[in-house]
Amino acid sequence: MKLLISVAFAWAIAVPAFADEDMSPDAAAQAEAMYADSCAQCHGRAGRGLASFPSLAGKDESYLSDRLERYRAGERIGPNSPLMIPVAAELSDEEIGNLAAFISTGFR
């Protein structure tokens, strides 16, 4: 129950700042949940990066989509590729687009 309340609270705070007209509120909430589940452990809750993992805050949507698509294709891009490739391999085109939109607008 605490997790549900935390996610709902975080969504209520983040979604108003998340202004991508092409995404439904459901898609935005799913992207936020996906970020929290799969990305935040390395890139931080605020997208600022942790240890050797880069900051995603302030990155352009097209840059983020490109990187995720390249990782999904198995391309090695830097030292964290062995961690990113299997994560990105599971993403659909829609999920990549939604994640990139969320990250590019959610962490200013």
> Is residue 10 included in any domain, yes or no?
no
Residue 88 lies in a domain: yes
* Residue 46 covered by a domain: yes
| Total number of domains constituting the chain | 1
**CATH number for 65:** 1.10.760.10
Asked whether residue 47 is domain-assigned, the answer is: yes
Determine, yes or no, domain membership for 3.
Answer: no
Tell me the whole-structure pTM to 2 decimals: 0.77
Q: Domain range spanning residue 83? A: 29-106
Output phi, psi for 5, to 5 deg: -65, -40
Q: Do the domain assignments include residue 94? A: yes
Write down the pLDDT at residue 23.
76
From first to last of the 108 residues of the chain, give the pLDDT tens digit. 554 444 444 444 444 344 455 678 898 999 999 999 999 999 999 999 999 999 999 999 999 999 999 999 999 999 999 999 999 999 999 999 999 999 998 765
> Domain for residue 11, yes or no?
no
89, part of any domain = yes
